[in-house]
Structure 1
Amino acid sequence: MPVADTETEVLIVGGGPVGLTARALLERWGVRVLLVEKHRELSPFPRSRLVNVRSMEIFRRLGLAAGITAAAFAPEYGRIRFRDTLSDRDFATAAMVGVNAPVQESPVIGTVTSQDRLEPILLAAADAQVRFGSELTGLAEETDGVVALLVDRHSGDETRVRTRYVLAADGANSTVRELLGIGTTGPGALGDVTTVVFDADLDRWCARRPAGVYFTAHGSFLPLYPEGGWAWFAPTPEDPAHADWPGLVSRALGPGAEVRVEVLRVQHWVMNAFVAERFRHGRILLAGDAAHAIPIIGGLGMNAGVADVHNLCWKLAGVLHGWAGPGLLETYGTERQPVAHRTLRQAVANTQLLLHVQERRRDRLRTGEAASARVELPWSEAYFAQLGLVLGVAYDSDAVLATDDTAPEPSDSGTDYVPTTEPGHRMPHLWLTPDTSTLDTFGEWFTLLTPDPAHWERQAATTSWPLRIETLPYEHIAFCGLSPHGALLIRPDGHIGARWRDRPPSDDTLRHALGTITRSMPE
């Protein structure tokens, strides 16, 4: 029998970047949180490597962007390079758009950093309770909550936790998803991969041509930290227990490299590719890899999970605080599951492009073409040009008041991004002052952007939702599709909930819109 009872409002299962981001977001909303992680500490492995521009916008709102950037690589590392071996010259290269240099579509820039540098920053971003070495072993849903059974992996003690909701961010092999019997769709396991973390002096081949990833025919090499350290990703050999890891890495560097390789850690893992059949089971919600496992090529997986909880946490807070109805949580899966499918398709396409490049290179070498010959890549500038997928996400759900009976139409290619203020889309970045972006006005509240704040303040006075009114400069009203009296209603996650091109049609317009979006009409 459990030895103790604990109560909380939200139980987060999983202490990776997604769970830690959710913990920070929910604490900002004043929600009581307990996070449990079965491992005894944060992972020492680099794992995810790319924080894209949208995730950095979210971290900017949490006050974390500067710290993440300070521990990360310089922008010139926002590039991938293709080589036969690491000691050879590039035969192709591609920029990571939104990482290698600023883009006009955002006030921030993405960054190349290792997950083991990111997680401590996220952990320190909130004070909510965390229990490491605590594994979830059982779940039971009740009328007004969930009872979770936890086991301390060191002492064996059991704890029963009563919680209003469970947010499962426990990875591709999610215990929560398995306990709920939620299936998955997609290719599934794509192969066994090994990560070797090592030290070696590789400056002679890399210092003048920096990159976040060097793809070779013998595995991928990734610089880990600005001050040093490397990782090698490659298919797991047949007998990994007896593999000569220093020898394998040395041979992958190229003939005659003659570099001393000091292996520090080795991790074996499975590259998965799937999307959960549903993201919600009653009061239990899946996020991150538990909801969608995305292949690593393109750096999309962790970032999709951060966007998941950014979408979900304001909805949980609204239900728990009483200004949103439980039906609002139905929109989480409606909005995020299509994004997961598009993200998976993009990652699979990236993998196919990578294999295509390597195959073309092998063909050239077999036909005797010079080893220095470049491969012309028609997609080279599009490979990491994912702003359409990253910033162009558009939601079509009951939490969006569409205009003219038209649903949002996001780009499926993931490459092109066209800023728009159509409801459902992320509110575009516009400078309100030399130092303040529209994105800086969003937070733990709804935001009404309007060139006529005085008129709308009378409507806002009749509402009981968290709401702030911000003045939209006249120079932006044409782009936003507004008259001098129109307004945009922005949800806490930065997506446009409603747009009125002109004056509100009635004195109850704003109140009705907030009630419809949140599925609640509080007095």
Structure 2
Amino acid sequence: MNRQVSTDVLIAGGGSVGLMLAVLLRHHGVEPLVVEEKPELSPHPRATGIGSRSVEILREVGLDRAVDEVAVDLRAGKIRGRTLAEADFTEGADWKTRTAAELTYTPARIRGTCAQNRLDRVLITRAGRVEFGAALDSFEQDSEGVTANLSDGRVVRARYLVAADGVRSRVRRILGIGRTGPGVIGQETSSVLFRADLRPRAAFAMCNIEHPDATGLLVTVDGEREWVFLTRAAEPSPDLIRTAAGDPSLEVEIRGVLKFRGRGQVADRLSLGRVFLVGDAAHAIPPLGAFGLNAGIADAHNLAWKLAHVLRGAAGPALLDTYHTERHPVAIMTMEQARLRFNDPSLHWGKDMAAARAAAGVINAPVVHTGYRYGGAPLPSTEDVTLDLDGSPGSRLPHMWVSDTVSTLDLVESRWCVLTADPEVRADIPVHLVDGWPYGTLLVRPDGFVSRSYA
């Protein structure tokens, strides 16, 4: 084996965010190397909520349909019951109708829930060189690049290093970057991955189980035989699952148990020299709201085009400084929003909660996912994301359909461009003339965010 390896970008960590970053870098013409200390992709779902902004990013790289294929088509969203057998499916049966009505601000569509392990299996098909069973042990950086030592004895020379190595990031510890936030939140929870045939009472996103002997949250993975039960029981067992399901004869195979506690912390810096932090290495976000995975995907999206521009000489290194200045405030906001929901989940799941959210300082979920702005400008609304996507600099480009299947977001094509309704506009980059475009003339970045408005 060659003990010396060279690459433009070394990604430490082959979870969802590391794989997404690799896909995005390759989309921009950069071939990274991903190293992951685990022997294979994680079989555990870990998270199941892929937000609309993440689906937009998947659409940009041509993977949205592949992810939709492995998503689960649901007939109900979040339901509840003493047991699954006693759950009221009508409670969450209108979720598809409500979701479709709310998604006027995005072209993103996914038919249901997609567990993180299923997402990973799609991402790895486009991630290029991914090596399992190889951990990053140590590294040093200089003015020209990073020299990393792997656990298998190899030495990697990279121009840049990206840490996607999780909450306990070794890269972050080596850099000596601290974290700020409340830290551990709530009690220890077990995520129990199990197999059982729960048909025909299946095809729901999640079910609050209220049985006093099996209180927890039942989450679908494949909608038929694979599930997760989130519980605070000391020793999760098949009998616990049977009680939650309301079926004492149910055949249950427990495949794995992950124990975790909610945590709210953000790294004090998201970059240092030629090293960058993404995903859980950059921010630990409490689980309620499904913000953690989606924030990590947004990290990767922000960083990938900037690395590509600098590597090919289209921009100077100062562009990379904007990764921290743009993503750090978003990470803090996202962590805080998840923490507030952790204290009162009804602020996230409840209907007609706008007044209660405003009183508690809670931002509506679509605004957290998509409505944030780079540059620090205040949001027009913390409740209605369509008001935030108004063409202002720092905001995500407004979505309009320009044909039955093409959105204004699709016109960006991962490059600098201009959108306008003015046929007199000329530029050295692509200019897209959009009939009925009400936002003036916008200069748009490769990640679909407005750089400048000429309205």
Task: State the TM-score, normalizing by the size of structure 1.
Answer: 0.78
Residue in 1 aligned with 2:315? 324
Asked whether the equivalents of residues 11 and 35 of structure 1 are also in contact (C-alpha less than 8 Å), the reply is yes
Are 1:394 and 2:359 counterparts? no
Matches within 5 A, 1:211-226: 211-217=204-210, 218-226=215-223
Measured against aligned partners, the alpha-carbon deviations of 1:98-130 in whole angstroms (never above 9, x if no partner) come to: 99436111112244111111101101023x311
Moved more, 412-421 or 28-37: 412-421
Asked if the contact 2:60/2:414 (under 8 Å) is kept, the reply is no
Determine if the alignment matches structure 1 residue 379 to structure 2 residue 353: yes
User: Counterpart of 1:203 in 2: which secondary structure?
Assistant: coil
The residue number in structure 1 matching 2:66 is 67
Q: Residue 410 of structure 1 corresponds to which residue in structure 2?
A: 379
- Is 2:432 aligned against 1:470? yes
- Partners of 1:72 and 1:493 lie apart in 2 by 25
Q: Match for 1:60: what amino acid?
A: R
Match of 2:288 in 1: 297
Q: Deviations over 1:406-428 (max 9, x none)?
A: x5223684664413011110001
1:447 corresponds to 2:417: yes
CA distance in 1, matches of 2:374, 2:164: 22
How many angstroms apart in 2 are the aligned matches of 1:149 and 1:432?
A: 50
Change (3 A) 1:346 1:33: same
| Offset of residue 311 of structure 1 | 0.7
How far apart, in 2, do the equivalents of 1:336 and 1:97 lie? 31
1:160 is aligned to: 155
In the alignment, is the contact (CA less than 8 A) between 2:74 and 2:205 conserved in 1? Answer: no
The partner residue of 1:235 within 229, 232, 237 is: 232
- Equivalent residues of 2:425, 2:431 under 8 A apart: no
Letter in 2 for 1:430: M
Q: How far, CA to CA, are the matches of 1:62 and 1:9 in structure 2? A: 20
The Cα offsets for residues 137-174 of structure 1, whole Å up to 9 and x where unpaired, read as 1010111111111113xxxxx11111111111111111
Q: Which residue of 2 aligns with 1:436?
A: 406
Q: Which amino acid aligns with 1:271?
A: G
Q: Which of 17-26 and 435-444 deviates more?
A: 435-444
Secondary structure (helix, strand or coil) at the match of 1:337 reads helix
Identity among equivalent pairs (%): 35
Equivalent residue, structure 1, for 2:393:
423
Paired position in structure 2 for 1:504: none
SS of match in other structure, 1:433: coil
> 1:444: Cα distance to partner?
3.1
Q: Which amino acid aligns with 2:449?
A: H
2:136 alignment counterpart: 136
Q: Alignment partner of 2:85: what SS?
A: coil
Alpha-carbon offset, residue 348 of structure 1:
1.6
Q: Which moved more, 1:263-272 or 1:435-444?
A: 263-272
**Equivalent position SS for 1:147:** strand
Given residue 431 of structure 1, which amino acid in structure 2 is its aligned partner? W
Contact 1:450 1:472 survives alignment (8 Å): yes
Match of 2:126 in 1: 125
Structure 1 residue 91, shift from structure 2 partner: 10
Cα 1:322–1:140 shift into 2, 3 Å: same
Establish whether residue 169 from structure 1 lines up as the match of residue 164 from structure 2: yes
Which shows bigger deviation, 10-19 or 257-266? 257-266
1:96 is displaced (CA, Å) by 6.4
**1:280-324 deviation digits (Å, cap 9, x = unpaired):** 111100011111111221111101100111111111111111111
1:22-37 correspondence to structure 2 within 5 Å: 22-37=21-36
1:3, CA displacement in angstroms? 7.2
The answer (yes or no) to whether the contact 1:221–1:231 under 8 Å persists in 2 is yes
Query: What is the TM-score of this pair, normalised by structure 2?
Result: 0.89
1:86 Cα deviation after fit: 2.8
Contact residue 161 and residue 274 of structure 2 kept, 8 A:
yes
Amino acid at match of 1:34: L
Closer, same or farther: CA 377–129 of 1 in aligned 2, 3 Å: closer
Give, in whole Å, the separation in 2 of the partners of 1:99 and 1:163: 47
Q: How does 1:276-287 map to 2 (within 5 A)?
A: 276-287=267-278
Q: State how far apart, in whole Å, the 2-side matches of 1:296 and 1:275 are.
A: 14
Offset, 1:225: 0.4
The Cα shift of 1:265 comes to 2.2
One-letter code aligned to 2:119: L
Q: Please say if 1:43 is aligned against 2:42.
A: yes
Matched, 1:189 2:184: yes
CA–CA distance in 1 between the matches of 2:383 and 2:33? 35
SS at structure 1 position matched to 2:319: helix
Whole-angstrom CA distance in 2 between matches of 1:203 and 1:352: 33
Give the whole-Å Cα distance in 2 for the aligned partners of 1:414 and 1:272: 25
CA distance in 1, matches of 2:55, 2:106: 10
Cα distance in 2 for partners of 1:310, 1:263 equals 36
Match of 2:444 in 1: 490
2:341 to 337, 347, 350: 350
Q: How far has the Cα of 1:50 moved from its partner?
A: 1.0
* Aligned mates of 1:118, 1:106 — CA distance in 2: 20
Q: Is 82-91 or 62-71 further displaced after alignment? A: 82-91
Check the 8 A contact 2:147/2:157 in 1, yes or no: yes
Secondary structure of 1:313 counterpart: helix
Distance 2:233 2:164 in 1: 26
Aligned counterpart for 1:89 among listed residues 87, 93, 100: 87
* Residue 306 (structure 1) aligns with: 297
Residue pair 1:105, 1:429 contacting (<8 A) in 2 also:
yes
SS in 2 for 1:456: coil
Assess, with a 3 A threshold, how the Cα gap between structure 1 residues 348 and 99 changes in structure 2: closer, same or farther: farther
Runs of at least 5 residues in structure 1 that lack an aligned partner in the other structure: 153-157, 238-242, 359-375, 397-406, 461-466, 502-523
| Larger Rg computed on CA atoms | 1
Match of 1:116 in 2: 117
Distance 1:98 1:389, change over 3 A: farther
CA 1:450 to 1:411, structure 2 compared with 1: closer, same or farther past 3 Å? closer
CA distance in 2, matches of 1:197, 1:494: 37
Displacement of 1:270 = 3.5
Any conservation in 2 of the 1:50–1:114 contact (CA below 8 Å)? yes
Unaligned runs of 5+ in 2: none
Q: Residues 213 and 105 from structure 1, CA distance in 2 versus in 1: closer, same or farther, beyond 3 angstroms?
A: same
**Count of residues in Structure 1 that have an aligned counterpart in Structure 2:** 441
2:363–2:383 Cα contact (<8 Å) kept: no
CA offset at residue 267 of structure 1?
2.4
Give the deviation of 1:455 after TM superposition.
4.0
Could you tell me whether the CA contact under 8 Å between 1:193 and 1:268 is conserved in 2? yes
Deviation at 1:219, TM superposition (A): 1.0
Displacement, 1:442? 1.6
The alpha carbon displacement at 1:262 in A equals 2.3
Aligned to 1:431, what secondary structure does the other structure show?
Answer: coil
Structure 2 letter corresponding to 1:106 = T
Q: CA deviation at 1:76?
A: 3.5
